[in-house]
Structure 1
């Protein structure tokens, strides 16, 4: 039987004692209440009626009509309260004699009336005495029973109160002494509980712990030191900088790469508080700042600027934090490759614009009737070449914008711009595409919109990109909602389509470079990534809301012009 079950049974016993005593007390009190109520309703009221009728007879009933009425009224009440043996017969006889007295007005009936009243009063008085004796018997009986049960319950409760705390306290006391012995490194201490409940399981676990500690105490210290040195050697050979901290932010170990980056000696780091070291080291302060975990760290080392990514590893044991490990991975070569890629894309994109422009000029010449008439098939081929060259020119433009974004050199020409001006430009730019699919633009502008402080060209490019995507994903003969509202010190632009929408699992990735959702129209996957960079560079914010099958809403905000 577990301790929980024993506690439940003990408390259930005490609860049963309370219920038993309370129930018996309520039962006997209820009986006494009923007896008292019967005396009051059955007998005391009858005596009261008789007394009032006798008082009425003492008056001159021949001349006092009120006395007659009082007698009649109390007699009627008495006739409704016939509760004792013989009371009914006396009351019936009283009614007969009273009726003769009312009709004949003969005084010879008065003695008979008074005699019947006396008998009724006597019957009720005897009943009161009898019921009082019964109530006393019930009271004494209840008192005897309650005494017996109370004594029994007190004996059991006293036994329970004396023995049960000792049952709980004794193992706890032994456990406390055992813990004190373990603290004093007396690992031979053992607990011996005879019970098969939780205390028995606790003793087993304690004994196992003491055994393991005893084994650990007598294990080979040389082996432990050897393993420690091997781990330190492995950490030192790592190409990444590694710093280990305990749960109180004290430095446990630092490998040689980390020492070179910090420009400090090992004896000035190991065992010291990382917070104290951070007071004199900007790099350590940056490493301890968890808010910069996703940012690259630029460090001047080896005679050049190098780039590192930071990673925190929490060391836990059974949900308890034991320490942390900070790893700095050198990503300089990836950074250099990315810069080379950006330069390559910028060069190729710039070089491609010249032949594409030549192709477009040649296409324009071919469309001129002066060069020669084209048949239908040639015109279709010419239109395909024109469309593909335009698409290639768009891709080249996006690549150039991407290189500008990646290089961090976004050239912005800030000015006060009217939101209506941006809406008009963007809607006209994509008007032909919308007409081809019979798509209607519904523009909802809030009244008295303020100007925004932004780059008009970049902002219009973002809105054109959003409208182009909305047209691409919208059905034929549908509509696209364009809205502009003011929210505090921001103006919010919105583009809502009613196409198939975006699956929830892709919402966090729509602004990533080169990302394209499955089964979506072909594209570069760069437009939304560039739009995000353009908006954020203007101190704005862009977001998307969508439910699959119900379209999507793209919104971006720009600050209000404060001039």
Structure 2
């Protein structure tokens, strides 16, 4: 019997046991799923119905208040709508009685509901009786007549009983769900222990099977392994003993032939070089991403198959300057920078992404270039990797489109809410108490904060989609700093902060989009203002640096924890315990604006 046949029958038995274990586990998983569905089917609908009835009651109570305020048309419409919703939810609960005592609660709700509806109708009839013949409320009702108020107060105990009834229905179903969940957990624990026992038994059987194979098969292989270890330590004269004609014997003979070839290669430096070169080329060719290898002069030395799809065959391009075959000027620039500085060149910002056409489809690649050196540190060339990030860009695009669409759709209802709050604050519906005015003012501030968030989300999505292309024009740096900080002087003075602007007059003008860069500076100074305590200092300075102008905003605030420095420019990142002020989008927008200008933004703390 060959080794293959022995292994086949041995593993066939082992596979059969695994199939049995898998079937056992699958059956138990199915049973657990049935338990979960039973919990949801029996109790979840009743929980939802109880919550909906409770909410409908509150809405009906609000409608009664609207009647007292003279908004009868609105009140009657709301009362009718939420009576219908209450009845629908009640019918759903009545059709799903599964727990002991639940039927009595349903009947109690039915009785208390009818009593409440009847009293509401009486209340509405009393209100109608107080109306003037011309359709206006009488002076008594307008001034809070006792009859109307007493009618409303008679509703309070009835609605309270209904609230308690709904809470009882909710609690009995919640308790039932918890009990069933605990029972299911117990069943799952028992099944887990049973499955674990079977699995342990299979492991023990597998170990026994492995020992058996070791005694019957692995012995000759162990001897072959020892021979290989001797060769690995440099004893190239070692040979494997060929003791049989089965697969192990054939392997030993082939191993001896291979060892002889190794001895021949070891005797020549050329053999070692060939092995190293073949290994390196095989590793490079196996990469899915395009790789360009250039020599120390920037000429193409190798292209892997993925790179050949972009730039043509390796045979046609070897020896050419990389700038001659590259389809984007940033590739030769990165190669030249890596060779001259002898440091890796890798851009993580959006400006470093190369859009290249592959078989008629545009794909996005991230450029990474690393210099190559020998053991003595001499420069050999550079390796350029084009990392395919098309799928990441597509995911980011879909996310940005979703955010933009959601923000746009929210603007209309938000505008309506803002208008309603504004009208209420202006007294369009009558006078307000101090407490009502405070609540409406809080609503107004929250609406304004939500509007700013949606505006930031829309701006961010447009910037990421490339729709906010900077309109460049020469601008003096001093004007940019002044325009960005002057509107904040009042806030700085109110908080007792010192401010200093250090912009040398000899600085040259910069090419920038005035509105966008002013927004970046305003956001940075605003952040410094929020995070600096009274008596602190905020300094804005600008210097010329290697053909660019570097603008910095420094403050004496609390600083940023080290673990957040690498993520501070990501979306929705906020440092814990920092003063509230935004949704964590300001720095993300600032980073993308600066990168769209070809610049770079960094943070130190």
Class of the TM-score when normalised by the shorter of the 2 chains: 0.3 to 0.5
Name the structure where strand makes up a greater proportion of residues. Answer: 1
Larger Rg over CA atoms = 1
